């Protein structure tokens, strides 16, 4: 018979195997609290969110703290250090949603660092959900947010100068190459840079969703949006149901990639609805990706779009159109960067 000591020895032997299984299937059950976030920069974002989740805090506070962490990072691809629009102006989109379907969003806001906190302020203190442009900035300043200088970060400045030579709006397929973990071309070094030398941009969005100890879900997303976009363009990261969606009975989802392609299908809402019908988070993301691809396969090969989802049990999963999307997970049992499953390997 298996005594307790033997069982513990066996389980500690089995733990690494179980965690390999989890990487392969992304299947963990009854895990809370937990936070998952887009791209490898999600690792530090998760750490910020975890400070709140691990001490019994609210998922809403955790996702805001995570988004603020990356908005604070200087010279980063998300936030005011990100790439500007075609007129050389950085504009941010963000949205946030809690377990009661309260939500707030901000689109095309300039010179305010913490777009996610403006979105939360809109959610908590106004009868509205979204403010955009000058009105959003005015609201932020009235509510004590500091107006930041207009200048571009050094990286963004260089990229913009490079881009101006041709001034063509041609988003690159956003990927990250992790040697060993994510086999493929590593010509951009151990981690693909956010921005390539010719002025083209990689990824610029942080989306995260969390489940707290009380079993409540929340999500937030923040971005400088597609580089060199037309001034005034607002992307999916400001749209509830596209950038994020939360249904506390079911699950939550977030997205990154070409926002227009996500907005066409209200992607994160769709992912949550698939989970409601019984799909696992990964299958729900896969079905939303299929919805996009089935409309125009040839076009889908030319852009990146990825979904990341978490259900009420703390199970998570992701799916991307292109190889190269990674996401980060943090819970009591795991802290990982996981390469997402994908449909096409056009970069390989
Ligand atoms: C947008 N979805 O503005 C964002 C861009 C993005 O990684 O996710 N980039 O369309």
pLDDT at 17: 40
Q: What is the mean pLDDT of residues 198-208?
A: 71
Task: Compute, in angstroms, the gap from residue 43 CA to the centroid of ligand 1.
Answer: 19
pLDDT at 123: 98
Nearest residue to 320 via CA among 298, 288, 348, 297: 288
CB of 174 shorter than 6 A to ligand 1:
yes
Task: Compute, in angstroms, the gap from residue 234 CA to the centroid of ligand 1.
Answer: 10
Tens of pLDDT, residue by residue over 287-328, are 999 999 999 999 999 999 999 999 999 999 999 999 999 999
CB of 194 shorter than 6 A to ligand 1:
no
Supply φ then ψ for residue 38, to 5 degrees. -80, 145
d(CA 323, CA 182): 8
What residues act catalytically? 205
d(CA 268, CA 245): 5
Residue nearest to atom 2 of ligand 1 (CA): 259
* Contacts (Cβ under 8 Å, ≥6 apart) of 115: 71, 79, 92, 93, 94, 106, 109, 222
Task: Compute, in angstroms, the gap from residue 259 CA to the centroid of ligand 1.
Answer: 5
CB of 171 shorter than 6 A to ligand 1:
no
pLDDT at 176: 66
CB of 251 shorter than 6 A to ligand 1:
no
Task: Compute, in angstroms, the gap from residue 4 CA to the centroid of ligand 1.
Answer: 51
pLDDT at 30: 73
Q: Whole-model pTM?
A: 0.87
User: Which region, left, alpha or beta, applies to residue 30 given φ > 0 means left and ψ of -120 to 50 means alpha?
Assistant: left
CA distances, 210 to each of 50, 218, 223, 329, 330 (Å): 9, 6, 18, 10, 10
Out of 259, 265, 303, mutate this one to test ligand 1's pocket (max ligand atoms within 8 Å of CB): namely 259
Least confident residue range of 18-27, 208-217, 335-344: 18-27
Q: Domain residue spans in the chain?
A: 31-344
d(CA 67, CA 119): 11
To the nearest whole number, what is the mean pLDDT of the chain?
86
pLDDT at 273: 98
Tens of pLDDT, residue by residue over 115-124, are 999 999 999 9
Q: What is the mean pLDDT of residues 19-46?
A: 74
According to DSSP, the residues that pair with 330 across neighbouring strands are 35, 335
Taking residue 279's Cβ as centre, other Cβ atoms within 10 Å add up to 20
* Contacts (Cβ under 8 Å, ≥6 apart) of 131: 105, 106, 107, 109, 118, 122, 139
CATH domain 31-344 topology: 3.60.20
d(CA 89, CA 229): 10
Say yes or no to pLDDT of 192 above 80: no
177 confidence band (pLDDT: 50, 70, 90): low
Task: Compute, in angstroms, the gap from residue 5 CA to the centroid of ligand 1.
Answer: 51
- Report the range out of 4-18, 76-90, 135-149 with the highest average pLDDT: 135-149
pLDDT at 23: 44
- 186: tokens are 């590593």
CB of 282 shorter than 6 A to ligand 1:
no
Q: What is the mean pLDDT of residues 265-288?
A: 98
Residue nearest to atom 3 of ligand 1 (CA): 225
78 confidence band (pLDDT: 50, 70, 90): confident
CB of 236 shorter than 6 A to ligand 1:
yes
Q: What is the mean pLDDT of residues 250-255?
A: 98
- Residue set of the binding site for substrate: 233-236, 256-259
pLDDT at 203: 65
């Amino acid at each position: 018979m298996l005594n307790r000591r033997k069982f513990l020895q066996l389980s500690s032997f089995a733990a690494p195997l179980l965690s390999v299984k989890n990487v392969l299937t992304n299947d963990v059950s009854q895990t809370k609290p937990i936070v998952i976030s887009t791209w490898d920069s999600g690792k530090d974002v998760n750490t910020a969110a975890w400070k709140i989740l691990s001490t019994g805090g609210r998922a809403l506070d955790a996702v805001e703290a995570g988004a603020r962490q990356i908005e604070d990072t200087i010279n980063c691809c998300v936030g005011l250090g990100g790439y500007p629009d075609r007129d050389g102006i950085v504009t941010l989109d963000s949205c946030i949603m809690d377990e009661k379907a309260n939500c707030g969003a901000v689109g095309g806001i300039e010179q305010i660092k913490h777009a996610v906190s403006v979105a939360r302020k809109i959610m908590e203190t106004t009868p509205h959900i979204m403010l955009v442009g000058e009105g959003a900035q005015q609201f932020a300043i009235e509510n004590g947010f500091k107006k930041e200088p207009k200048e571009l970060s050094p990286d963004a400045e260089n990229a913009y100068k490079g881009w101006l030579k041709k001034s063509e709006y041609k988003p690159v397929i956003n990927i990250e190459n992790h040697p060993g973990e994510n086999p493929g071309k590593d010509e951009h070094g151990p981690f693909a840079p956010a921005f390539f030398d010719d002025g083209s941009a990689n990824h610029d969005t942080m989306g995260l969703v969390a489940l707290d100890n009380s079993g409540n879900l929340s999500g937030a997303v923040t971005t400088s949006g597609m580089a060199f976009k037309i001034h005034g363009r607002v992307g999916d990261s400001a749209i509830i149901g596209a950038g994020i969606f939360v249904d506390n009975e079911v699950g939550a989802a977030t997205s990154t990639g070409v926002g227009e392609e996500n907005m066409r299908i209200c992607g994160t809402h769709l992912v949550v609805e698939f989970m409601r019908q019984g799909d696992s988070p990964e299958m729900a993301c896969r079905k939303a990706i299929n919805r996009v691809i089935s409309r125009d396969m040839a076009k889908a090969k030319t852009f990146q779009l990825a979904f990341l989802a978490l259900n009420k049990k703390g199970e998570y999963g992701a799916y991307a159109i292109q190889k190269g999307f990674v996401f980060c997970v943090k819970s009591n049992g795991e802290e990982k960067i996981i390469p997402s499953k994908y449909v096409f390997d056009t970069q390989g």
